Structure formats: C-alpha cells, structure tokens
Amino acid sequence: MTIADQVTGSTIADAAGAKPRAAASAITLPAIGERELRLDLFRGLALWLIFIDHLPTSLLTWFTIRNYGFSDATEIFIFISGYTAAFVYGRAMLESGFVIATARILRRVWQIYVAHVFLFTIFLAEISYVATSFENPLYTEEMGIMDFLKQPDVTIVQALLLRFRPVNMDVLPLYIVLMLALPLILWSMKWKPDVTLGLSVALYVVTWEYDLYFSAYPNGFWAFNPLAWQLLFVFGAWCALGGARRMSRILASPVTMWIAVAYLVAAFYVTLTWYVPQLGHLMPKRIEQWMYPIDKTDLDVLRFTHFVALAALTVRFLPRDWPGLRSRWLRPLILCGQHSLEIFCLGVFLAFAGHFILAEVSGGPAMHALISLSGILIMWGVAWVISWYKRVADKSGAKTKNAVGNADLAGGG
Amino acid sequence: MKARVLLSLILLCGGLAAPSARADDAASAAPAAPAACELPSYLLTSESQLPRVADAVKAGKPLEILVVGSRSTTIPASENSSYPARMEAVLKDKLPPPEVVHVSVEIQSKKTAEETASTFVKLMEAKRPTLVIWQTGTVDAIRSIDPDEFRGAVTEGVAALQSAGADVVLMNLQYSPRTETMISAQPFLDNMRVVAQEHDIPLFDRFAIMRQWNDQGQFDLFSPSRGPELAKQVHDCLGRALAQFVIDAAHLGPAQQQN
C-alpha cells in the first residue's frame, strides 16, 4: 500500500463517516483538501536532522541545514507544528466549539507531557550511569553536572514542573507551552487572524525589548524561550488558516524569490566563515558586531527570516502536487513526519543510546556512521509499525473514531 | 538464528572497535611526542595581538603570566603536569635564554565568570602580570547561566584586566564528549568568541583543539580511565599549544625576533 492509497483511503473513510458534516474531519478541510504531504515530508526531515544534530558531530552532521544558514530543524518543526495544530484544532473549534476543542488540545498536551517525563527518566538513568562509572581525572570539573543527583527530590519535582530540563530536552517543554496557548490563539484567530499575528509579533518585540524569559531550575532560563518562539508557531497557525493563500501572490513574485535567494546566500557565506576561519577577515567588523550573537534562545530575527526565506523558496519550487511526494524514496521521511511525537521521542532516546554506544564500545567514524544510519532506519521502522497499527485499529474502531480526528496530524509534537 | 545474528553483530562491533583501540596504543606509546599534539595552524594563530607581552620581551623584562582558571586548569594530584606548568616549561625553552618567564595560577573553582571577574581588581593589584590567560565558561555552562549575563561578565572581566595593564587571552571550555548530552557548551563558546572579537583579544579555542584531537584519534577523550595518564598527555599538548599561541600572537617567533 502506498502513501497515496493511504491518504485517499482515509479521506474517503472520513468523508463517509461524517457524511452530513463532511468537513468535520480536518483532512477534508475544503480549503486545503487532502493531507498536505509536504508538511509531513519536511517534518520528517526535521526529525531526522534533530536526531543527527543530537549525536556528536560527524560527517553526517554536515548534511544538516544548520551548517548552511542561521535557522535549523527546530524552526521547521515548530512552524509545521503550529500549522498542523491550527489546521486540525481550528476546524474542531469551528465545528464543536471552544470547550470541546480546548479539551482535545489539553489531551494532546498531556500526551506530550508524559512523553517528556518518559525521556527524562531515560536521561536520569544515563546520567546516573555516567556518574558512577566515569572517573577520568581530565574531566573532574565537568562532572559537577552530576551535583543535582545529590538532591533528587528537588530535581525530580522541578523536572515535573518543566523547570529542570537537561540538554536536548528543550523542544517538548516549548511545545507543551505553545499547545497550552493554542486555544487562546485559535479563539483569537477565529476573530481576526491578522490581529492575532500582530499581537504575536508584539509579544515577540516586547520579549526582546524587556528581556522576558521563563526561569529554569537550578538557575538560568528556558533554552527555547516560548515567549519568542510563539511567533513561529502563531505564524504557522496563521498560514494554515488562510494566511498562506492570501500571501500566495507575494510568494509567487520573482522579487520575493530573489530577495530570499540573496538572503540565503548571504547567510550561507556567514556560516562559511564559522567553519573556514581564514575567510573571517573578509567579514566587515561592523557587520559582525551588529549581527552576533545570533540568539537561538529568543529566536533571533535573523533566524526567523532565514526560515521564512527557506519556506518561501520551498513553496515556490515544490508544488503541493509534485509527483515526487508519492515516490517510495520519500516515503520513509513522510511516514516519520506523520507520527512526529512518537518519532521525536524515539529520536531523542536514540541519540542518548547512540552517545552511550559511542562511549562504551567505540568512537570511530565507522561506528558513528553505523549508529546514525541505524537510528534513522529504526525511526522509519517504528513509524511504519505505528501507521500499520493505526490502520488496523482504525479498521476495527470503525466510524466512531472519525469525529475525534487524527492526533498525529494535529500534534506535531 | 537469533544467536547467529547476535554473534555477527558482536563481531561487527569488535571489528569497528579495533582500529580506534590501535590508535589509542599509538598515543600512549609516545607520551611526550609532539606528534600526538599536532594541530592545524588555524587553531594556533590569532589575528589579535599581545602588544604588552611583545614589549616586555623586547625590553628584556621578565614575563609574568597569570592563568586564571577553574578545576580543569589542573590535574588532581599532579600540578606539575597541568597545562600552565607545561606552558611555562615550553616558553622557557623557546624564548631566548635571558628571558625570565614566570607563570602563576589562580584557581577559582566552582565560580562563574561573574564571580571570578569581581575578584580581578584585587588580583591584579597583587600579581601585576603582563599577560592574563583567563579560562572560563565551564561552571557557567554547568549551571546554565543566561548567556547574555555570561557575556556581560566576561566583557567586564576583560575590561578590568586590560585597564589594570595586562594583555588578555581568553580560553574556552574543554571538549568533553561524555558530558555532551548533559552540558550545553555552544552558547558559552559563541559568547566568548563574541567578546574576544569585540575586544580584539586572542581566543585560545581549547574546545575546538580537544575536539580535533579526539576526532583525529590522537586522544580518546571518551576513555573512562581513572589514571592520570591521559590527562597528563592532554595537558602537555595543551601547554605546548598555548605556548605556541602566545608566541605567535605576541610575534615572538624566531623570524620576528631577528628584526
């Protein structure tokens, strides 16, 4: 069964199930039509890239987009999550009202939260192992990171409150907060989409101006500031709820294209100077001082615009009906993108496991490549199993399920 | 069937592990050999300069170097093998004989950049060094201090050191692959680079250097070994690299000295 079968199959099933209100399922949203495979494709890609970025640097790391410009997979992930969440729950809000939609969103938030706690448990196991087995005198100072194990009571409670978040576990808490805000965002979007986007921009500006942040435990702040990153999420939601269509003329204009290309080339050049320091002196000091640091925590404007430029070019050169989207070669990516919460968590876990193997067995480049490759294969395999299971479960669950919609399409998490 | 798959997997892993194990042996067989310390030249050079060091050496004054660091500045129970001591030895060796080089070390363990910087005025009054090598960032990364605050603290510290009349070299974190999943070093590396650029001072990129050694197989930094051998070798190489870096940034190389 190909992706195409799957999509058309489920569309028909949905349409048949919710006959009188054919629009009840997000998949048959009249404005968008069937499932947007480009979203799945790029979300899948983002998941793979996040996995590779979480492993120690290797040859494969050079294929991840963060080496070619300012933005990275996180931007893609958050934008698409905003887009799909608005797509599904926006429809739910129109059809079933604010309360029902909110309840469904909260259910999704709970799932993400549980996933986060699960990953934290694995992290605890890993760090405890390292703490007890690794005593290289070269790194006595770095082992200070284990100090929190001395008071697990505080640490674990703080982790449950999302205030203690180890490295590489920052995306899900950000996503939880954004999803919690989603009912409000959608409610406001229903009223006036442009004003909502304006408010989001205002919040972003205020965050930068007054340096607002979410505090973390034991000190510091959230590595992804939700007050800044909401801009990308809301922008995604705005695009999903008609913004993209209204922008289509701007997107189709060659002027936009050339601006985007010029910006991407400039960004590429700047990133090149990070890796080829010999180029550094060709970079005017003025520009360097104005530009650096390019802040990931608060979603630097340079990062945001870089993502927008990438997205503009993608939309232009990759039409929604591009036949390649149905090719079997892209199927693994699309499958992963369709089950993003599960595959994201799996990716974080596999990155932990990969580190572990590299540390315990061998750190050679061959092993590294093997781990990256098997990680991606495992992600694909699990995504396949999940869709197989969903298909089977949907068949036996029959039509009553349709009204609930597809959490994966919505979730993104 | 299952057993056979497992066995072949184990064999595969063993086969992959073997080359890196051999690289290990080579490194420990020749502990003092600079071959293990080899680095591409861009990691050892800086566009920024050390004018006060250059002047002191030209005028034949003693070269007082102060290393301000943390626990990773030293090796527990082997002070003489730590990188400041190794740097001193190499500098004494490389600079012409009448030159007096003296390196002192100030360890501020478990202190953030901000806490360390607040001690600089007094420290500089007491020691009056020509060159301060300020190694920082690790404690801030472990405690995930706000990178903006960190940058502010490093900026203030550098300003205090400079206004007390010293040249400054910044040194960033160690590359620590074992704790890579637990300590987020990148924002701190980035911000130290920014401060170095803004103040036009040399940055000794310890992180990139150690990663280079690990990636090239010169050292296996994943090693869980409890003995001090690996630490000693790495510090020896760091000391050599640092001495080379200072000589280069102050233009004290043989070619420059002839002029």
- What is the model's pLDDT at position A308? 94
Contact state of A363 with B220 under an 8 Å Cβ cutoff: yes
The half-sphere exposure of B32 on its side-chain side, counting CA atoms within 13 A, is: 3
The pairing of beta strand B63-69 with beta strand B131-135? parallel
- Predicted local distance difference test score (pLDDT) of residue A398: 58
Residue with tokens 């250097």: B209
Count how many Cα atoms sit within 13 Å of the Cα of residue B45 in the half-sphere of its side chain: 9
Share of chain A above pLDDT 90, in %: 43
Q: What is the pLDDT of residue A276?
A: 74
Query: Which of B52-74 are b and which e, b meaning 16 or more Cβ less than 10 Å from the residue's Cβ?
Result: bbbebbeeeeebbbbbbbbbbbb
- State the residue for tokens 């409610």: A187
Residue B62 Cα, gap to closest chain A Cα (Å): 31
Residue of chain B nearest A362, judged by CA positions:
B17
| B120 vs A126: which has the higher pLDDT | B120
Query: What is the DSSP code (8-state) at residue A57?
Result: P
- Looking at residue A3, its amino acid is I
Indicate yes or no: CB of A361 within 8 angstroms of CB of B180. Answer: no
State residue A215's pLDDT score: 85
Average pLDDT over residues A249-267: 92
CATH (residue range B33-254): 3.40.50.1110
Of B42, B75, B179, the CB nearest to A137: B75
**Which phi-psi region, left, alpha or beta, contains residue B135 (left: φ > 0; alpha: ψ -120 to 50)?**
beta
Interface probe for B, chosen from A139, A286, A302 (most Cβ of B below 10 Å), is A139
Q: What is the distance between the alpha carbons of residues A169 and A158, in angstroms, rounded to a whole number?
A: 14
pTM above 0.80, yes or no: no
Chain A residues inside the 8 Å CB shell of B143: 218-220
**Three-state DSSP state, B166:** coil
In the prediction, which pLDDT does A14 show? 40
Nearest by CB: A142 against B20, B179, B231: B179
Q: How, if at all, do strands B131-135 and B167-171 pair?
A: parallel
Verify whether the Cβ–Cβ distance A364 to B176 is below 8 Å: no
Chain B contact for A122, CB < 8 A? no
**Higher pLDDT, residue A164 or A312:** A312
pLDDT one-digit tens code per residue, B109-134: 889 999 999 999 999 999 899 999 99
CA B153/CA B116 separation, integer angstroms: 9
Each residue of A324-355: pLDDT tens digit? Answer: 888 888 999 999 999 998 899 999 889 888 88
Give the number of domains in chain A.
Answer: 1
> Would you call A136 and B223 a contact, using CB atoms and an 8 Å cutoff?
yes
- pLDDT > 60? residue A131: yes
Domain span at A395: 3-411
ipTM for the predicted complex comes to 0.77
User: Which positions ≥6 away from A254 have C-beta within 8 Å?
Assistant: none
**pLDDT tier at B34, thresholds 50, 70, 90:** low
Amino acid letter, A261:
V
**Would the CB atoms of B182 and A166 count as touching at under 8 Å?**
yes
How close does chain A come to B38, measured CA to CA in Å?
Answer: 18
Q: Where are the domains of chain B?
A: 33-254
Structure-model confidence comparison of residues B241 and A57, the more confident one = B241
Q: Is A282 on the interface with B (CB under 8 A)?
A: no
Q: Are A375 and A347 in contact (CB under 8 A)?
A: yes
Q: Tell me which of A15-19, A72-76, A173-177 is least confident.
A: A15-19
Q: Compare all CA atoms of chain A with the CA of B151 and give the residue at the minimum distance.
A: A293
